[in-house]
Structure formats: structure tokens, C-alpha cells
Amino acid sequence: MALIELRGIGRSFPSGDQQVAVLKDVNLDIEAGEMVAIVGQSGSGKSTLMNILGCLDKPSQGAYQVAGQDVAAMDDDALATLRREYFGFIFQRYHLLEHLDATGNVEMPAIYAGSPKAERRARAEGLLGRLGLGERSHHRPGQLSGGQQQRVSIARALMNGGEVLLADEPTGALDSQSSAEVLAILKELHQQGQTIIIVTHDMEVAAIAGRIIEIKDGEIVADRRNDSAFEAVSQAGHQEHKEPRWVGLWGRFSEAFKMAGLAMASHRMRTLLTMLGIIIGITAVVSVVAVGQGARQKVIADINAIGTNTIDIYPGANWGDRFANSIQTLVPSDLEALQGQVFVDSATPNVQANAKARFGNVDSTATVRGVSEQYFQVEGMTMAEGQALNRDDIRHLAQVAVIDKNTKKTLFTDGSDPIGQVIILGKVPFKVIGVAEDKDSNFRFDQNLQIYVPYTAVMSRMLSQHYFSSLTVRVADGVSSKLAEEGITRLLTQRHGLKDFFTRSSDSILTAVQKTTSTMTLLISSIAVISLVVGGIGVMNIMLVSVTERTREIGIRMAVGARQADILQQFLIEAVLVCLAGGAIGVLLSLGLGLVASLAGSALPMTFSVASIVGAFVCSTLIGVAFGFLPARSAARLDPIEALARE
């Protein structure tokens, strides 16, 4: 049995409505160890025959067997395996990958065969050394002459130790000196037992072969021995070299990774622009989630700082009730009734006057708050100096005031002790009896000086008003705010004869705030998702362009034995890497935003959670896989011959 057996092989190509037969009834046996030249004029079908021999193309008719295996029965992956194990290709135009150095090009077939890195490196360098390129093993194709490039491609063809070297016009692009070198190498390889098939239109080149087959218009017209050439005896048998499956898989995966990195690095600007959509999307999602979380935490902290559970009581049916101003039913007796309830820890009314506060010749606008003696208990405030209001002050409409630290600083510019001094609020004099400690809470929007005086004094001496603007109740420990709210509503409804007020607990504010922030987060996140989808489509677009641009590269990889899965994997990894890098830049950008915001003392803190960052990376990966799949598949489905023909 011959190594290669062709029986009645025909190959036709569609041309318009007709089929043009390029090969007709070719019968050919080639033994292991032979050196065969296929000669014929240009267009006679030599390359077509060569492609069929090398399993890059399939015949339209006839049977082809390699070492007894029927090629017609094989699928694309089995053909890739056959190419890898039996054949090495040498092309007229070398077909080296520009972005890999000589060693990188030579070891490529071994990557797809799954040999370990160190072993294939050593073998590649050994082969290059044997072919006189030891010095140039780290040069790229662009830095090598034509003859040197062709020697690299011979080394690549020998890499997997395949028996048959297929050389299609190997000297066609070389000067006579380099031609002679390449032919000498082929002859030497033949003498060492390599089966070699050379396609050429040049009889001088053919003369080195021991057997010359002439082909004309797709038919073999002559097949003769050439005794002038030295015929070597075959010694090489087909050698299987298989690695454990996982070693090969891992090697191929990490190589695909490296290739993807190289491809990205060689088009930096394009890669960056491709990532832009992903970067914007991820930055937006991560930042928005962080702002939302920060806002929520801040509100919770503020509400906790206000005290445990407080309930506000306002006149009217709800916020924005236009009759609320005319409701005057929240009165001092309501306050006393509330203070008598078991579920009430403390209670205070709120009446408020804006007035000019003056001390000596300094004055400033102040908010004068009329409160009860329990106000400081309700609000969880303590005194920094002096004392708080007491029950007698309230009862006697005493003209005494507790000021905040801001007031002390503003009015008492010389740093003198304010306690015991008399300040004028509007036209009414008040004696300062205490300075309140600032609260942690930033929940106050009022930048005015804050001055607390007995509500009775404000109502009679400043406002002539007999009702409260609102009441605030602090719920007794251990009582739920819901129960307390119900109790207050029942009590006041009974007292007023109708429900002309509404209540708000800090709990309900909390829920409202949480609801608002999560709605906002959802809203902005959905915008970000749209941007991510747009980014994904951008990635897909660029990947499709890149597949078109790199068609020849894909063809070369397939010729040296890459499976469809290898090509698919390489492009998919590239898409995922682009998206992941975009995601990483996005996360970094939004962390940067957070840092800038906190340095700038922004009122909106950003809180980053591990979950949102992990989510961003998962999201990027999924986008890469989803939008990279289509381009990767179209790359994997390319026909190797067509891909190789593309320039």
C-alpha cells in the first residue's frame, strides 16, 4: 500500500451555471520516501492537485487515501488532524505570520498538536539552526530576506515531524542564489527520508526530483523516473506523538491567550476605541450603584443620628395640602396629652420665627425655634455649655435662649462667654443660658443661626400665634413606631373630632428614601445597560472587520493544522479580553471618580461593593462571549484555501 493513493480524482469549480473541470481522472500513487515533482504550465491544475493532496481541499470525484485512511469520510476536524500529523506546507509566498518571530512561526504547528512549550521551543530553534537561521530565530518575517523566509517556512513544515512535505512553487519568488539554497535543503531532507512533493513550472527545479509527473489541462500526461537524481531509500516511518489530552488543551488555550494579547497590542488605538462603549457602560453602572449605596448609607446614618424613633405630626392631609395653613388645631393641650401617653418618651412642638439676632453691634439672620423643654431629649442633643430649657421656663414664657455653636461664633466675635449675656431676637431681648453641642447629622439644610427658646415665648412675644406648625414625638424605647403612630392618630383624631393632621416617622422616611434611591439606580442602570449593548455591538463590528483583515492568517493557521475550535477559541478569547480590559478600565475610572468626589468633599459619598465590581467583570465577560461569538464562528468557518488565496 502506497502512502498516498489517488483513484479517479476529479475536481471541478462552478463557473456561472456550469462546472469547469480543473482535474480529470487523476490516478497517482506516491510511496513514502519518494521525491516527486509535479510540473506543468500555469493554470494546468497543479495547485489544485496539491491542495487535495494536503487535505486543504476535497475532490469532487474519486477516492483519496492517506496511509490507508479514506479522506472523503472525514469531517473538518479530522482533516485538520491529518494535516497536522502527515503534512507540512511550503508556499510560494512563504505565508508567515508577520507579528510572530521566526521561532514563533516555526512552533505554531506544534501548538495545535499540543506539545509542551519547552519541547517545541527547543525543536523549533533546533530546526532553524539546522537550516542556517540560528542567528535569526528572533527576527520577524519583515526583517528576513525571501530565501530566509522560505527557510523559516520549511522549518515550520518540518515542525510536527510529518512525513510529507508539500511545496507549491517554493522557489517561485526567490532569486537564483536563494533558490539553489532552498533546493539543496529539500534534497538533503529527502536524503534523510522525507517524502517531498514539489509543484513547479520550472524544469530545472524539477530536475532534483527522482520522479517527474507532468500535468496538462488537469490530466497526467507523463510520469517518469529521473535517474539523474539520487534516490534515497525510505527510512522514516510515520511516528505518532501524542500528548495527554489536557496538556494539549491547556497549551492551546494559553497560546490563544497570548495571540489575542499580541493582536490587541498591535492595534492599540483600535482596541481602545472598541472598548469605549464597554468602558462607558461599566463606569456608569459601577458609579451609579456606588452613589446609590452611598446615598442610602448616608441617609440611614443621618436618621440614626437624629435619634431612635421619632414621629412628626403635621397639619393637613399630606404634604402639599393647600388647606394645611388654615388648620390651627395643633395646640398646647395636644402636646400635654401626648406627653402623658405611655408610648411617648418625650415630645416637643415646633414654631419657628425668622428674626435678626443681635449682640452689641453684631447681627445675623437666625432661625428662632420655639420648643418645649423636652426638645433636646427628642432630638438627642446635649449641651456644650450652660444648661437647657426647663419646665418653668416654658410655663413662665421666660425670655431665655439656648444657642448653637455657630451663633456663639458669629455673635460673640471676641470669644467672650455668651452665658448670661442678653441677645436681641427681632425686638425681644433673651438671656443666653446654654450652648448646644452640634449634632453629627447633616440632615439640616438651614444655614441660619439656630436659637432655641421656649415655644410659649415665641408664640406670645414674637408671633402672636396660638397653634403649632408641627409636633415631634420621640417614641418610648421598645415600642414600635407603627404602634406609636396608630396611638397618636387615635388620640389626636379623638381630640380634634376629625383627622386634620398626618404623621411621618423616621422609619417611613427611611423606606421612602430607599425606594427613591433604588428607583434611581434602576433608571440609570438601564441606561448603562443600553450603553453596554451598544458597546457589545461595537466589539462585534470590529471583530468582524478583524476577521476579514486576518483571513490569510486564519488560512495559514488552518494549513498547519488548527482545528475550527482553535480558531473559534482564539477570536472568542480576543473578544472577551477586549471586553474584560474595557471592564477593568471602567471599574478603575469609577473608583477614580469616587476618589475625586471624596477629595472634593462631595455631599454624595460613593460606596463601592465587591459585588458590584465582580458583577462588572462577569458582565464584561458575558458581553465578550455573546458579541464575540458571531465573528469567531465566521472566522472558524472560513475555507482554508480561499483564506490562503486572500492577500
Residues in contact with ligand ADP by the rule CB under 6 A? 13, 22, 40, 42-48
Find, among 180, 211, 181, the residue nearest to 198 by Cα: 211
Helices (H) and strands (E) in the chain, counts: 20, 20
One-letter amino acid at 539 equals V
Contacts of residue 517, defined as CB under 8 A and 6 or more positions apart, other chains included, come to 292, 295, 296, 299
Smallest separation (angstroms) from Mg ion to the CB of 637: 25
Smallest separation (angstroms) from Mg ion to the CB of 48: 8
287 binds, among Mg ion, ligand ADP, none (CB under 5 to 8 A by kind): none
Smallest separation (angstroms) from ligand ADP to the CB of 4: 18
Q: Nearer to Mg ion by C-beta: 47 or 612?
A: 47
The single residue listed with the C-alpha cell 471602567 is 586
Q: Nearer to ligand ADP by C-beta: 18 or 464?
A: 18
Smallest separation (angstroms) from ligand ADP to the CB of 209: 17
Q: Nearer to ligand ADP by C-beta: 51 or 531?
A: 51
Smallest separation (angstroms) from ligand ADP to the CB of 203: 15
Count Cβ neighbours within 10 Å for each residue of 499-535 and write b for 16 or more, e otherwise: ebbbbbbbbebbeebeeebeeebeebbeebeebbeeb
Q: Nearer to ligand ADP by C-beta: 214 or 255?
A: 214
292 binds, among ligand ADP, Mg ion, none (CB under 5 to 8 A by kind): none
Task: Report helix, strand or coil for 498.
Answer: coil
The single residue listed with the C-alpha cell 427681632 is 426
Strand partners, 95: none
Contacts of residue 277, defined as CB under 8 A and 6 or more positions apart, other chains included, come to 531, 532, 534, 535, 536, 537, 538, 539, 582
Q: Nearer to Mg ion by C-beta: 40 or 104?
A: 40
160 binds, among ligand ADP, Mg ion, none (CB under 5 to 8 A by kind): none
Question: Can residue 521 be called a binding residue for Mg ion (CB under 5 A)?
Answer: no
The single residue listed with the C-alpha cell 415665641 is 458
Smallest separation (angstroms) from Mg ion to the CB of 146: 18
Q: Determine the interface stretch with Mg ion among 39-47, 298-306, 355-363, 561-569 (rule: CB under 5 A).
A: 39-47
Contacts of residue 486, defined as CB under 8 A and 6 or more positions apart, other chains included, come to none
Q: Nearer to Mg ion by C-beta: 45 or 535?
A: 45
Count Cβ neighbours within 10 Å for each residue of 138-147 and write b for 16 or more, e otherwise: ebbbeebebb
286 binds, among Mg ion, ligand ADP, none (CB under 5 to 8 A by kind): none
Q: Determine the interface stretch with Mg ion among 42-50, 109-117, 476-484, 541-549 (rule: CB under 5 A).
A: 42-50
Find, among 270, 635, 595, 312, the residue nearest to 474 by Cα: 312
- Rounded CA gap, 647 and 630, in Å? 23
Find, among 472, 298, 489, 507, the residue nearest to 380 by Cα: 472
Q: Long-range contacts: 411-418, Cβ < 8 Å, 24+?
A: 411/357, 411/358, 411/359, 411/362, 411/363, 411/364, 411/449, 412/359, 413/362, 417/385, 418/385
Question: Can residue 160 be called a binding residue for Mg ion (CB under 5 A)?
Answer: no
- Rounded CA gap, 249 and 495, in Å? 82
Find, among 312, 402, 393, 382, the residue nearest to 348 by Cα: 312
What element of type H or E holds 583?
helix 564-599
Smallest separation (angstroms) from ligand ADP to the CB of 51: 8
Smallest separation (angstroms) from Mg ion to the CB of 206: 14
347 binds, among Mg ion, ligand ADP, none (CB under 5 to 8 A by kind): none
Smallest separation (angstroms) from ligand ADP to the CB of 173: 14
Q: Do 242 and 75 contact (CB within 8 A), yes or no? A: no
**Furthest CA-CA distance within the chain:** 135
Q: Nearer to Mg ion by C-beta: 125 or 214?
A: 214
Q: Do 196 and 167 contact (CB within 8 A), yes or no? A: yes
Smallest separation (angstroms) from ligand ADP to the CB of 17: 14
43 binds, among ligand ADP, Mg ion, none (CB under 5 to 8 A by kind): ligand ADP
Smallest separation (angstroms) from ligand ADP to the CB of 19: 10
Q: Which of 47, 115, 310, 350 binds Mg ion (CB under 5 A)?
A: 47
Task: Report helix, strand or coil for 294.
Answer: helix
Smallest separation (angstroms) from Mg ion to the CB of 215: 11
Residue at shortest CB range from Mg ion: 47
- Rounded CA gap, 165 and 154, in Å? 9
Strand partners, 200: 39
| 69 CA to centre of own chain | 46
Q: Nearer to Mg ion by C-beta: 22 or 154?
A: 22
Q: Nearer to Mg ion by C-beta: 47 or 570?
A: 47
Smallest separation (angstroms) from ligand ADP to the CB of 153: 18
One-letter amino acid at 287 equals S
Q: Nearer to ligand ADP by C-beta: 46 or 190?
A: 46
What element of type H or E holds 354?
strand 344-359
| 553 CA to centre of own chain | 27
Q: Nearer to ligand ADP by C-beta: 172 or 426?
A: 172
Q: Nearer to Mg ion by C-beta: 22 or 576?
A: 22
Question: Can residue 44 be called a binding residue for Mg ion (CB under 5 A)?
Answer: no
263 binds, among Mg ion, ligand ADP, none (CB under 5 to 8 A by kind): none
Smallest separation (angstroms) from ligand ADP to the CB of 212: 15
Count of residues engaged in binding Mg ion, rule: CB under 5 A: 1
Q: Determine the interface stretch with Mg ion among 41-49, 101-109, 486-494, 579-587 (rule: CB under 5 A).
A: 41-49
Q: Nearer to ligand ADP by C-beta: 42 or 318?
A: 42
Q: Nearer to Mg ion by C-beta: 206 or 584?
A: 206
Residues that bind Mg ion (CB under 5 A): 47
